[in-house]
């Protein structure tokens, strides 16, 4: 795995990076999980800015300031809800990573942290999601000079172990 991709077990709201990615819903008006944690940490101005974005389609990404977060920006993306894998979920999840990275690049972001999108409330199987996430991160880094570091932030030890084994698996395939 490229040295520019880091896998950590942490709380994304604590990270001093240029941008953190939020696993939002299509309203962009907050929710539970990492969405709730990011809004709580950023403060009410984040919701005010989100209100004028008029939502976000699944697979798309929109950027706001980070306000009280240590991160400068929040990139909000909406992951697919898992329906068994027959509703284009893999491609929609891949687009969340690609579009978030494209938005980051346009904003001249060098360091960006992702939660494990769609693997909580939205029920996407974590093993499958981690392979998609790491593949998209790796492919993106191979074609950009702007984004220097991508961090995959796991909120539980269990998820952390899964990401590590997915990373070893893809290293083994090289
Ligand atoms: N830091 C990092 N990761 C976190 C944090 C945190 N502070 N809190 C939760 N997570 C992790 C979860 O453990 C999970 O692995 O984020 C991942 C995504 O889970 P959810 O937050 O439930 O997001 P998702 O599955 O994409 O569902 C999105 O949930 O919160 C609502 O408004 C949100 O409707 C949307 C839906």
Q: Which atom of ligand 1 is nearest to the CA of 117?
A: 26
pLDDT digits (tens, 9 = 90+) for 92-104: 999 999 999 999 9
Q: How far is CA 70 from CA 19, 33, 42, 50, in A?
A: 9, 19, 9, 18
Q: Which residues pair with 65 in a beta bridge?
A: 73
Counting ligand 1 atoms within 8 A of each CB, the residue from 6, 10, 19, 23 with the most, and so the one to mutate, is 23
Neighbours of 26 (CB within 10 A): 11
What global pTM score does this model have? 0.97
Cβ contact 18:73 at 8 Å? yes
Q: How far is CA 119 from CA 58, 84, 107, 132, 143, in A?
A: 14, 13, 27, 12, 27
- Number of structural domains, the chain? 1
Gap from CA of 24 to ligand 1 centroid (Å): 8
Range of the domain at 60: 5-172
Identify the burial level of 4 via C-beta atoms within 10 angstroms of its C-beta, where 0-12 means exposed, 13-18 middle and 19 or more buried.
Answer: middle
Gap from CA of 70 to ligand 1 centroid (Å): 19
- Domain containing 40 — which CATH number? 3.40.220.10
Identify the burial level of 44 via C-beta atoms within 10 angstroms of its C-beta, where 0-12 means exposed, 13-18 middle and 19 or more buried.
Answer: exposed
**What six digits make up the tokens of 35?**
């969405």
Gap from CA of 80 to ligand 1 centroid (Å): 12
Percent of the chain past pLDDT 90, that is, above it, reads 94
pLDDT digits (tens, 9 = 90+) for 111-164: 999 999 999 999 999 999 999 999 999 999 999 889 999 999 999 999 999 999
Counting ligand 1 atoms within 8 A of each CB, the residue from 21, 24, 29, 34 with the most, and so the one to mutate, is 34
Answer whether residue 2 shows pLDDT above 60.
no
Gap from CA of 31 to ligand 1 centroid (Å): 9
Cβ contact 137:5 at 8 Å? yes
The confidence band for 54, taking pLDDT boundaries of 50, 70 and 90, is very high
């Amino acid at each position: 795995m490229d040295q520019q991709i880091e896998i950590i077990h942490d709380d994304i709201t604590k990270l001093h990076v240029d941008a953190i990615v939020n696993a939002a819903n299509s309203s962009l008006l907050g929710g539970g999980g990492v969405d709730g944690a990011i809004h709580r940490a950023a403060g009410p101005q984040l919701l005010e800015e989100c209100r004028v974005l008029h939502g976000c389609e699944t697979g798309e990404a929109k950027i706001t300031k980070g306000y009280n977060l240590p991160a400068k920006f929040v990139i909000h993306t909406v992951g697919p809800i898992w329906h068994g894998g027959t509703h284009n979920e893999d491609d929609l999840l891949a687009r969340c990573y690609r579009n978030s990275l494209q938005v980051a690049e346009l904003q001249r972001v060098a360091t960006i942290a992702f939660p494990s999108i769609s693997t909580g409330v939205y029920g996407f199987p974590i093993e499958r999601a981690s392979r998609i996430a790491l593949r998209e991160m790796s492919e993106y880094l191979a074609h950009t000079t702007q984004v220097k570091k991508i961090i995959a932030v796991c909120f539980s030890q269990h998820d952390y172990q899964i990401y590590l084994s997915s990373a070893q698996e893809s290293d083994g395939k090289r």
